[in-house]
Chains A and B, each alone.
Chain A
Amino acid sequence: MEIEQQALSNPTGVETIEVSGSVALLEALIAEGTEVIFGYPGGAIMPIYDALYDYKEKLNHILVRHEQGGIHAGQGFARTSGKVGVVFATSGPGATNLVTGLADAMIDSTPLVCITGQVFAHLLGTDAFQETDVINITTPVTKWNYQVTDATEIPEVLSKAFYIARSGRPGPVLIDITKNAQIQKFDYSGYTPCNHIRSYRPKPLIRNEYIEKAAALINQAKKPFVLWGQGVILGEAELEFKAFVEKSGIPSAWTILGAGAIPTDHPLNVGMLGMHGNYGPNVLTNECDVMIAIGMRFDDRVTGRLDKYAKQAKIIHLDIDPSEIDKNVQTTVPVWGDCKETLPALTALIQQKTYPEWLQKFRDFEQKEIEAVIKDELNPASGELTMGEVISHLNELTHGEAIIVTDVGQHQMVACRYAKLNKTRSNITSGGLGTMGFALPAAIGAKFGAPERTVVAVIGDGGFQMTLQELGTIMQSNIDIKILILNNRFLGMVRQWQELFNQHRYSFVDIESPDFVALAAAYRIKGKSISERGEISSSLKEMLEHKGSFLLEVMVTKENNVFPMVPQGCSVSEIRLK
C-alpha cells in the first residue's frame, strides 16, 4: 500500500501503476479535495469500504445511521462550505434511501457526488440480491448520473461528476459502480480534473446589450425592487450583490434560500418574500415598476397567484440557468450569466441613487406587521411560549453569528423570518422540496462544513422524529450541534391549514412525542426541556455554552399560526396579517 501511495502522489508522471477501481475512486476524491464522506456500507460497496480502510488518515468517513441522513449531511456540508458533498451508499435499499435527498438537492441546487455500489455487471437485470435500477430511479432527481461497469472509466467519470456537480447551476450527481469495477485492477496514470465537456455549457456567455438594457430600466425606475435568491450565494457573489444594492439604493427582499447573502439588518434588506414572508415585500411586489430578480426562480410559494403577480412591473431576471428565464414569470430583460460576472457589469452602468420615499413604504408596512404580528410573536406579555420569542432570545445570544439549520413547517417559517444572520451560508434549510427530517442530519454536515461556527438545528417535534436516528451519528462522531426542538405537539403547519381552510377539522396532525431529553440521554447527549418564559434565555445560554452537543426542547403554544400568510391561490398583495 505504501508503495502504491507514493506512486499515486505523482500523477503527472507518465508511469502507470496497477490499482483497483476502488483505489482509483478514493484517489479521485482526494484529488478533488474531499474532506469528509458521509456513508453507510453494504454488500455491493464493500470493495470501496475495504480500500477506505487504508485511507482513514486521508479521508474522514462519517458513519451515518440511515442513507437519507447521509445525503442530508452531505447537503448541509455543501451548503455551509461551498464545496461538493460526498456520500456513499450501497446498492438497492441503500441507493433508494438517497432518493429524497437527491430530490431535495436537485430542487435546491446543492452540489453533491453520491457513490452507490451496484451488483456485479454480469448480474445486472437478473433481480440479483439488492439490485435496483438506480440509474433510472434517480434520473429525474440528478443533474447527471452514470453507471460504471469497468474500472478504467473511474478517473474520468469522477472528474466529470465533480465538474458537473459544482459548475453552472450546481446539483446532485450519482455514480453507480458495479462491484466488479470496484475490484478490477487497471493501469492507473493519475487523475486529471475536468474543465470542459463539449455538450455542457455551465455558463452562458454574457451579452452586454442585455446588461445595458437592464441598466437603462433601472436608471429610469421610480420604484425598483430587488428579489434575490440562493443564486447569489451559490455564485459566491455576496460582495458583488452588496455593491449593486448599495449603489442602486434599491430595497431588496430575499427568498428563503437567499437569506443571509447580505446581513439581516442591512438598511436596504426589507425582508422575506413569499407565503409567510414579510408584509411590505409581498404587497409592494404589486406596486414596484421595475423588478430585478437575481438568482431566484419564482417558486409558487414566492409568487402566489401568477396571473396577479407584479403585472405592472418590468422584469429583469438574472440567472445562470437559461431554462429559468420565462419559466414562471415573463421577463422584460433576461440577463443570462453567472451573477458574479453580471452584477459588477450592471453595477458599473447604474447611477448611484436612493429612494427614500419608496423605502419608507416598506418601513411603513413593516410597522404595521410589527403591530399586528411581530410584537406578540417576539414579546408576548403572557400566555404560553411562542416560537418567535425563542428565536428572538437565540438572536440575542448568538448575535447573528450562528448557522441556523431548520427543518420544515411552522418552526422553519418562524426561524427564517426572525433569525438574525450576519453572514452568508448561515441559513440551511430545505426550501424547494420541503423535506421534513432534513435538519438534524443537515446540521451534522453543516458543522463539518464550518467547524469553527456554532450550528443550531431548529426542529419541530414532527420533523425531529423523522430522522432522529442520526443522534447516533452525533454521538459516535463526537461533534458539537445544538438541537433546539420547538414542540407544539402538533404537525403545526398542516394543523394551521386545517384550522384556516378545513374548518378546524384536525385530521391526523395530533402527534405524540417521546421524552426527547431521555432520548438524547440514551445517546449520551445532554438535554433539557423547558416550558417557562423565564427559563428561555438561561437555557439557551446553557445550550450554547455547553461543550458538545445539547438538546433543548421548548414547549410552545399548541395552536399558534404563522402570519403573515398569502393563502394558496391568492395574489401576494392579498397577504393576510391574521
Chain B
Amino acid sequence: MSNQNNTEKPEGKQEFTITVYTENQIGLLNRIAIIFTRRKINIHSLNTSPSEIESIHRFNIVVQETEDVVRKLSRQIEKQVEVLKVYFNTNDDIIWQEMALYKVPTDIIAEKASVERLLRENGARAVVIRKDYTVFETTGHREETDALIRILQPFGLIEFVRSARVAIIKNSDGFNRKLREFEKAEPGEDVVENEYLNKGQRIFTM
C-alpha cells in the first residue's frame, strides 16, 4: 500500500473502489491481497471491518486500474470460497470519506490566530489539546486532507496519519436481503445475477 498522491491518472486507468462482503475468516485478507500482488497491482487503500450484519465483514479496496483489470480482479476475489459478493465502482458511484489526524505544536496554534482560522475553514476539530501538542481531526476526500497537510506544514506539523477509504455505494440497498438468499441451499436469481443482465445499472455485480 502506498501513500502516493493518486490524482494523476495513467491512460485508461481510474480509481475504482472494490467492495467485498466476506465471512470473518483468518487468512482471507491474505487470500484477497495476493490476487493483487500476483498481478503486481498496488492497493492504494484497504479497509476491513465488520459490516452491518453480524459475522459478515466488509472490505473496501481502492486501486487505480482499467475497468477490464478491475473486473477480472473482482471475479477472482468473488471466486474465493469465503467471499460472498464483490462490487466495483467508480468514484461517481459512491460516497466516500477518509479520516486524518494531525499533530501540531500547541504554542504555535495559540500564538497564531491565522492557524486557528485555517483549521476551522478546513473543518478540522481538536481531538486532544495538551500543553506541548494538539491533535486535530478532519474527514473528507484525499484532496481535502492533503490540503490541510500543506497548510499545517509551515507551522511545524509533527505527525500525520490518514485512514483507509470507507465507501458507501449510492445505488445499494445493503446486504441483509442478499445474505438470506445466500443462506438458502438453492440460491435464487438475486444471488446469481450477472453483469450481462444488469447492464445499464451502475453497480457492477456478478
Q: Residues of A at under 8 Å CB distance from B?
A: 135-136, 139-140, 143-147, 164, 195-201, 204-205, 207, 210, 321-323, 326-327, 334, 336
Contact = CB atoms under 8 A, between A and B. Distances in A.
B22 A199 contact: yes
Contacts of A195: 185
A199 B206 contact: no
A199 B27 contact: no
A326 B196 CA distance: 12
A323 B27 contact: no
Contact of B81 (A147, A164, A205, A327): A164
B187 interface: yes
Nearest to B83: A199
B197 A207 contact: yes
27 contacts: A136-B30, A139-B34, A140-B34, A143-B81, A144-B82, A146-B27, A147-B26, A195-B185, A198-B179, A199-B22, A199-B83, A199-B84, A201-B192, A204-B192, A205-B187, A205-B189, A207-B192, A207-B194, A322-B75, A322-B194, A323-B76, A323-B79, A326-B72, A327-B72, A327-B75, A334-B196, A336-B194
Nearest to A142: B31
A205 B189 CA distance: 8
In this complex, the member of A144, A195, A201, A207 whose beta carbon has the largest number of chain B beta carbons within 10 angstroms is A201
Interface string B111-143: 000000000000000000000000000000000
Main secondary structure of the interface of A (DSSP, over half): mixed
Given A140-B38, A205-B192, A323-B76, A199 B197 contact: no
Contact of B183 (A139, A147, A198): A198
A210 B78 CA distance: 22
Contacts of B191: 201, 205
A79 B132 CA distance: 70
B50 to A, nearest CB: 15
Contact of B79 (A145, A210, A321): A321
Interface of B: 22-23, 26-27, 30-31, 34, 38, 71-72, 75-76, 78-79, 81-84, 179, 182-183, 185, 187, 189, 191-192, 194, 196-197, 206
A336 B191 CA distance: 14
> What 6 A-B pairs are tightest by C-beta distance, nearest first?
A205-B192, A323-B75, A198-B182, A199-B84, A144-B81, A196-B185
Given A201-B192, A204-B192, A334-B196, A322 B206 contact: yes
B13 to A, nearest CB: 19
Contacts of A197: 81
A222 B192 CA distance: 33
A146 B182 CA distance: 22
In this complex, the member of A139, A147, A210 whose beta carbon has the largest number of chain B beta carbons within 10 angstroms is A139
B27 A145 contact: yes
A355 to B, nearest CB: 29
A314 to B, nearest CB: 15
Given A205-B192, A207-B197, 12 more contacts: A200-B81, A200-B82, A201-B187, A201-B191, A204-B194, A205-B187, A205-B189, A321-B79, A322-B75, A323-B75, A327-B75, A336-B194
A199 B79 contact: no
A143 B72 CA distance: 17
A201 B178 CA distance: 13
B18 to A, nearest CB: 14
Contacts of B23: 199
A4 to B, nearest CB: 32
Nearest to B179: A198
Given A196-B185, A201-B187, A334-B196, A139 B79 contact: no
B40 to A, nearest CB: 14
B35 to A, nearest CB: 9
Contacts of A164: 81
Contacts of A321: 79
A327 B76 CA distance: 10
A207 B189 CA distance: 10
In this complex, the member of A146, A204, A323, A334 whose beta carbon has the largest number of chain B beta carbons within 10 angstroms is A323
Contacts of B79: 321-323
